[in-house]
Amino acid sequence: MDFPDSVHYLNPLESETMRSPHAFCIPRRCGYELHRQPSDYYNHAMRRGGQKRALFKYTISGRGAMHSRGRVVPLKAGNALLAVIPDDFAYLMPKDSEKWEFMFISFWNPAAVAVIEKIISELGNVFSLSPDGGAMRKAWALFEIFREGRIADKYSVSGIGYEFLMRICREASSATDKEDDNELLRKVSSYCFRHLNHPVTVDELAKHCGYSRWYFSKLFHRLSNRTPSEFIMGMKLDASLRCLREGGLSIKEVARLYGFEDPGYFSRSFRIRFGVSPGKFYKLN
């Protein structure tokens, strides 16, 4: 990119558009940054208090990362971060990254932030966008408008901003739908297997896979024809059956081993899945 290492452009019509019910999708700020040292860049979104706002950040080259509630999500070339601030996450340049080059757009109008919150609830915070796709073409169009300072018609600029957000929905959803089905199922299976003795929740799995609960449940059901809860329960019961077959533990111990706090619930679930109670199965083996 033929820019200095850091350029930020503010909306010159901010006072007119900040709370406008009509031109609500005009960004407050557009910018570009190139960081070459990990110590150069660290931002914790919870510390950035003040008004609620939304941030779009697109990695052009190099690598950044998002730290959120104990989870680290890489931000590689082609990855977009969409977030509402303040919140409990941080974005930074990792120590082993040679550089992090990105462009960003921020929205402060409450109506725009509300739209973006709904997008995040469906797509999650991190997703991929083609650098040549319609969403990024609109993003760079907004950047150029701000760079040249030519916001003559606030409604047309707001229209570009809205189309940018809608193209994100279309393109990111399409890219997610094309994700390798086996890879997602492998990731879920691996996580559940490592936590068989823990009461794994759907929220936990969704966060592990980088999706909102709603979108993860919808995607998982489409791929496996089961709900995430059914899949988790199935893995635990299959493992408990193998354990009972091997012997050495009581039914209560097996139930506890696989995260069932109530032995009665374990027995009912076991009977529904295998057509026999764990006690009878234990005696037969």
Domains annotated for the chain, with CATH where assigned, are 6-177 (2.60.120.280), 181-284 (1.10.10.60)
54 three-class SS: strand
In tens, the pLDDT along 14-57 reads 766 666 677 889 999 999 999 988 765 556 655 555 788 999 99
pLDDT of 72: 83
pLDDT of 234: 92
pLDDT of 223: 84
pLDDT of 4: 67
pLDDT of 40: 59
pLDDT of 10: 84
Taking residue 147's Cβ as centre, other Cβ atoms within 10 Å add up to 15
Regions in the chain scoring below 70 on pLDDT: 1-4, 15-20, 39-49, 173-182, 285
Nearest Cα to Cα of residue 61 among 40, 77, 79: 77
- Rg from Cα positions in the chain: 24
Taking residue 214's Cβ as centre, other Cβ atoms within 10 Å add up to 11
Instruction: Please state, in angstroms and as integers, the Cα–Cα distance from residue 143 to each residue in 25, 29, 102, 133, following that order.
Output: 14, 9, 12, 16
